[in-house]
């Protein structure tokens, strides 16, 4: 990274470093710089094992994508190996906000302009499919992860944004319409105990879950299905050797007939062609210390998940016991020290909820989400023969296990594996190799846009 780019990455944080030092009282005595979710779902200890000499399918990445694919393949009788460079589920799958939506990022109009009306509808429908699928999957598999259809309040950060949100909700094509209710500014106290927002849209079908427990449930089912999951086993190199893949890992060499790359925002130099199609973006969350229920009931009275209309979005909710606020956002261009990212998050949280100004932080953490240049997820088979599934653009709680399952069904030759995203070009940009040097400027531009009502 050039010194100029490194400085641009660092510069917005200097003030926060100083503030962190000045604000040690922001942190609770038992503060931890790791996900709050790891309290109820500690990092799993797997039996120590080495990769087998050979397997049918090797999957790189043990998050929702990799495990969902593994489950489908193992239950169809394949010998499956899942490898992760860290603990199982160490990536975004145990770090996210647990907000479950129908989120396909591009609007119908944007999709129609690029792909035509029929594909646009089908792609938007995949978001709805994923939302239905995850509810059904959790029920079918009896995964105890606090899944609940609490509804999302999508709050407008200024008046022009409110008008745009209402227009967008009303213009949804009927075939793929998501139920919504317009909440005006004068009514919003039923949804959020804040005066900062200008009303918003309520999506009752959206849900919340405990990300750590969901991952743990998935891992348990995968292990029961006979999958070998090896943690702390980074893949260093991958070679297509006519008829099989040779996989070099930190714990030895293995061979597989098929390989699935499920590394999402952590996709690295093992698959350079995928790396240059993914833009890793840091997202961060803080959890507050325990709060009286009277306070949390006032702040988020109906236990909704909440997001706002900023391009550089804030998202927040209560913990599963309704005793803490979990507040997330994109406060830095790339992953940084959570002790530092906690400070701006706390500042933004108290702008929304001034009564939390003296509330301390119990946990702070971050992770890398994977954006793509067309803001759509991508799955399929690359020209070098490897399968991939990634690029959920910050909305992978439902999309990752859903598309992971679909990809596995494609490997099994099953018709239900077909998706509206099959065959879409997975694009990159000239000279981009996976280092998003442009992010600090892009985020600064969007922050500026977020402040200008006239661009809405
Ligand atoms: C702070 C934060 C908040 C979020 N909030 C939400 C939310 O509220 N709702 C929502 O829908 N989505 C949210 N997301 C996004 C969501 O969590 C992800 O889209 C989803 O978890 C992706 O799952 P995955 O299995 O594809 O990738 P991950 O869970 O990131 O797993 C990838 C794994 O690949 C491993 N890996 C990478 N390279 C190698 C290698 N060479 N060898 C071995 N292993 C390797 C990594 O160690 C990692 O464990 C959030 C993400 C973050 C970071």
| Cα–ligand 1 centroid distance for 63 (angstroms) | 6
Look at residue 191 and give its three-state secondary structure: coil
Strand partners, 152: 203, 305
Angstrom CA distances, 231 to 43, 82, 277, 303, stand at: 10, 8, 26, 35
CA distance 148 to 134: 11
User: What was the pLDDT predicted at 407?
Assistant: 98
What is the CB neighbour count within 10 angstroms for residue 195?
11
User: Is the predicted pLDDT of residue 453 greater than 80, yes or no?
Assistant: no
User: What was the pLDDT predicted at 48?
Assistant: 86
User: What was the pLDDT predicted at 335?
Assistant: 53
CB 358 within 8 A of CB 270: no
User: Is the predicted pLDDT of residue 404 greater than 90, yes or no?
Assistant: yes
CA distance 346 to 38: 21
**Phi and psi at residue 66, to the nearest 5°:** -65, -45
Pairing of strands 252-261, 245-249: antiparallel
User: What was the pLDDT predicted at 22?
Assistant: 61
Q: What is the CA radius of gyration of the chain?
A: 22
User: Is the predicted pLDDT of residue 17 greater than 70, yes or no?
Assistant: no
pLDDT in tens, 251-262: 999 999 999 999
User: What was the pLDDT predicted at 441?
Assistant: 84
What is the enclosing helix (H) or strand (E) of 375?
none
For residue 392 and ligand 1, the question of a CB distance below 6 A is answered with yes
User: What was the pLDDT predicted at 384?
Assistant: 86
CA distance 230 to 52: 10
User: What was the pLDDT predicted at 243?
Assistant: 86
- Dihedral over Cα of 322, 210, 96, 162: its sign: negative
User: What was the pLDDT predicted at 450?
Assistant: 82
| Cα–ligand 1 centroid distance for 369 (angstroms) | 6
pLDDT in tens, 190-249: 999 999 999 999 999 999 999 999 999 999 999 999 999 999 999 999 999 988 999 999
User: What was the pLDDT predicted at 454?
Assistant: 63
pLDDT in tens, 330-376: 877 655 799 999 999 999 999 999 999 999 999 999 999 999 999 99
Tokens of 19: 């503030």
Helix boundaries (H) for 158-292: 159-170, 211-224, 272-275
Tell me which residue has its CA closest to atom 53 in ligand 1.
367
User: What was the pLDDT predicted at 102?
Assistant: 85
CA distance 325 to 319: 6
What is the CB neighbour count within 10 angstroms for residue 324?
22
pLDDT in tens, 301-314: 999 999 999 988 99
Tell me which residue has its CA closest to atom 21 in ligand 1.
93
CB 213 within 8 A of CB 145: yes
Mean pLDDT of the chain: 93
Q: How confident is the model at residue 21 (pLDDT cuts 50, 70, 90)?
A: low
Tell me which residue has its CA closest to atom 15 in ligand 1.
394
Work out the angle between the directed axes of helices 338-352 and 3-22 (0-180°, nearest 10): 60
| Cα–ligand 1 centroid distance for 378 (angstroms) | 15
User: Is the predicted pLDDT of residue 11 greater than 80, yes or no?
Assistant: no
Atom nearest to 236 CA in ligand 1: 41
Atom nearest to 101 CA in ligand 1: 11
Phi/psi region, residue 72 (left: phi>0; alpha: psi -120 to 50; beta: rest), is alpha
Instruction: Map tokens 């100083």 to a residue.
Output: 18
What is the tally of helices (H) and strands (E) in the chain? 11, 19
Percent pLDDT > 70 in the chain is 93
For residue 97 and ligand 1, the question of a CB distance below 6 A is answered with yes
User: Which tops the pLDDT comparison, 44 or 22?
Assistant: 44
pLDDT in tens, 367-403: 999 999 999 999 999 988 999 999 999 999 999 999 9
CA distance 52 to 241: 18
Mean pLDDT, range 46-70, rounded to an integer: 97
Instruction: Map tokens 């001034």 to a residue.
Output: 354
Torsion, Cα of 431, 435, 441, 447 (10° steps) = 130
- Dihedral over Cα of 456, 190, 35, 100: its sign: negative
Strand partners, 257: none
What is the CB neighbour count within 10 angstroms for residue 257?
15
User: Is the predicted pLDDT of residue 1 greater than 50, yes or no?
Assistant: no
Best mutation site among 249, 328, 394 for ligand 1 pocket (most ligand atoms within 8 Å of CB): 394
Strand partners, 319: none
Predicted TM-score (pTM) of this structure: 0.94
CA distance 386 to 426: 14
């Amino acid at each position: 990274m050039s010194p100029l780019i490194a400085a641009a990455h660092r510069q917005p944080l200097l003030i926060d470093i100083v503030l962190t030092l000045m604000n040690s009282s922001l942190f609770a005595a038992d503060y931890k710089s790791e996900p709050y979710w790891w309290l109820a779902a500690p990092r799993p200890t797997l039996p120590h094992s080495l990769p087998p000499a050979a397997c049918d399918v090797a999957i790189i990445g043990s998050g929702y994508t990799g495990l969902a694919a593994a489950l489908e393949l193992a239950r169809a009788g394949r010998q499956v190996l899942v490898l992760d460079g860290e603990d199982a589920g160490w990536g975004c799958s145990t770090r996210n906000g647990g907000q479950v939506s129908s989120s396909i990022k591009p609007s119908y109009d944007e999709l129609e302009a690029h792909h035509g009306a029929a594909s646009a509808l089908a792609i938007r429908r995949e978001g709805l499919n994923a939302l239905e699928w995850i509810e059904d999957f959790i029920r079918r598999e009896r995964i105890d992860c606090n899944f609940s259809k609490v509804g999302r309040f999508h709050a407008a950060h200024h008046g022009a944004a409110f008008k745009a949100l209402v227009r967008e909700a009303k213009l949804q094509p009927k075939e793929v319409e998501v139920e919504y209710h317009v909440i005006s500014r004068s009514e919003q106290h039923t949804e959020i105990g804040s005066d900062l927002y200008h009303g918003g849209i309520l999506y009752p079908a959206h849900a919340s879950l405990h990300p750590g427990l969901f991952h743990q449930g998935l891992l348990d089912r995968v292990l029961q299905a006979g999958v070998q999951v090896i943690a702390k086993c980074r893949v260093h190199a991958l070679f297509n050797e006519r008829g099989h893949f040779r996989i070099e890992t930190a714990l030895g060499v293995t061979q597989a007939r098929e390989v699935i790359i499920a590394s999402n925002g952590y996709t690295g130099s093992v698959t350079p062609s995928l790396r240059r199609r993914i833009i890793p973006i840091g997202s961060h969350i803080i959890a507050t210390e325990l709060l009286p229920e009277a306070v949390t009931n006032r702040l988020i009275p109906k236990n909704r998940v909440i997001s706002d209309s900023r391009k550089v979005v804030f998202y927040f909710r209560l913990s599963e016991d309704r005793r803490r606020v979990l507040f997330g956002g994109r406060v830095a261009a790339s992953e940084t020290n959570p002790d530092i990212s906690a400070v701006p998050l706390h500042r933004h949280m108290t702008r929304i909820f001034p009564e939390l100004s003296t509330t301390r932080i119990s946990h702070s953490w971050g992770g890398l989400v994977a954006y793509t240049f067309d803001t759509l997820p991508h799955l399929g088979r690359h020209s070098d023969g490897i399968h991939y599934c990634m690029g959920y653009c910050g909305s992978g709680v439902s999309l990752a296990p859903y598309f992971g399952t679909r990809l596995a069904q494609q490997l099994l030759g099953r018709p239900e594996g077909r998706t509206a995203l099959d065959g879409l070009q997975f694009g990159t940009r000239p000279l981009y190799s996976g280092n998003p040097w442009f992010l600090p400027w892009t985020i600064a531009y969007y922050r500026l846009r977020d402040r200008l009502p006239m661009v809405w």
